Amino acid sequence: MFETQPSRVAPKLALSAHTDSARVEKRRYAGPERRGGKAPLTRWLTLMLDEMDHGLMLVNAAGELRHANQLARHELARGDGMLLAQGRVQSNRSDEQTVLTQALVDAARGRRCLLTLGQEGSALSVAVVPMAAEPGDSEPLTLLMLGKRRSCETLTVDFFARTQGLTGAEANVLQALCSGMRPKEVARQFGVAVSTVRSQISSIRTKTQTASIQDLVNRVSVLPPITPVMKSALAH
């Protein structure tokens, strides 16, 4: 009879299985350094985009929406210029849809452009900006940056007026000036004498330490947005 030699295969298989198991566990590991990676950063980036006072959307070449910040979602729900239909961002006018579609195709090729969508009086400016793709990206995306509906947001002007110690009447005058009205038009709107409005403007300039009406309007127009209040207002 032949003696059976101890097999060396079993230990090798066991060692291989142990190594494979360790590799799997290594891939599965999600300790603090991994849990603190992309997900929290994505959340913070989303919150940051919601604080912007421009609507921002990421779409693919077919116009399929991949992300939109708070103001962009509000603009799409409003449907005045752009809307969302079956998951795709579209113009609300059929004669402008071809222009938007072509702009997205061009953006996928690296070209950017500026569009105006919607009817006169409520037209919406849209910057079409191609995003730089990296190896491994599933699809090239395009940023649609929406223009502001007004140069000075009402809530921002109100907040500025309060911080500068303006009275209610002065805040109303400031709002009117920021909307482009002249002192005579402001007086007519509020039913007061022009001299009264001019006195209020003088008081506003003193409190805000601005040299002229234009200087005052310019200062307000570059203020950062007060979006937490704005988002609450949009929600209602």
Answer with the one of 107, 128, 146 that is the final residue of a domain. 146
Answer with the one of 103, 130, 146 that is the final residue of a domain. 146
List Cβ neighbours of 221 (8 Å cut-off, separation of 6 or more): 151, 152, 178
Q: Are residues 162 and 121 in the same domain?
A: no
For residue 102, tell me if it sits in a domain: yes
Q: Are residues 110 and 182 in the same domain?
A: no
CA distance 234 to 230: 6
Q: Are residues 77 and 101 in the same domain?
A: yes
For residue 114, tell me if it sits in a domain: yes
Burial of 222 per CB tally in 10 Å (0-12, 13-18, 19+): exposed
Query: Would you state the pLDDT for residue 126?
Result: 94
Give the residue numbers spanning the domain of 167: 154-235
Q: Give me the sheet containing 56-59, strands edge to edge.
A: 65-68, 56-59, 142-146, 124-130, 113-117
Q: Are strands 56-59 and 65-68 parallel, antiparallel or unpaired?
A: antiparallel
For residue 14, tell me if it sits in a domain: no
CA distance 17 to 11: 10
Count of domains in the chain? 2
CATH classification at residue 101:
3.30.450.20
Query: Would you state the pLDDT for residue 145?
Result: 94
Q: Are residues 81 and 175 in the same domain?
A: no
Query: Would you state the pLDDT for residue 210?
Result: 94
Residue 20, CA atoms < 13 Å, CB-side half-sphere: 6
Q: Are residues 70 and 135 in the same domain?
A: yes
pTM, two decimal places: 0.61
Mean pLDDT per 10-residue section of the chain, whose length is 236 residues:
50 48 46 52 86 89 93 88 93 91 93 88 88 82 86 76 94 92 94 96 95 91 64 46
For residue 32, tell me if it sits in a domain: no
Query: Would you state the pLDDT for residue 225?
Result: 67
For residue 196, tell me if it sits in a domain: yes
CA distance 150 to 49: 19
For residue 10, tell me if it sits in a domain: no
Q: Are residues 86 and 124 in the same domain?
A: yes
C-alpha distances (whole Å) from 233 to each of 47, 65, 112, 171 are: 17, 24, 33, 19
Q: Are residues 173 and 113 in the same domain?
A: no
Strand-pair partners of 64: 88
Q: Are residues 159 and 230 in the same domain?
A: yes
CATH classification at residue 176:
1.10.10.10
Query: Would you state the pLDDT for residue 40?
Result: 81
Q: Where would I find the beta strands (DSSP E) of the chain? A: 56-59, 65-68, 82-85, 88-91, 113-117, 124-130, 142-146
Query: Would you state the pLDDT for residue 222?
Result: 80
Q: Are residues 52 and 129 in the same domain?
A: yes
Answer with the one of 111, 146, 181 that is the final residue of a domain. 146
For residue 160, tell me if it sits in a domain: yes
CA distance 196 to 198: 5
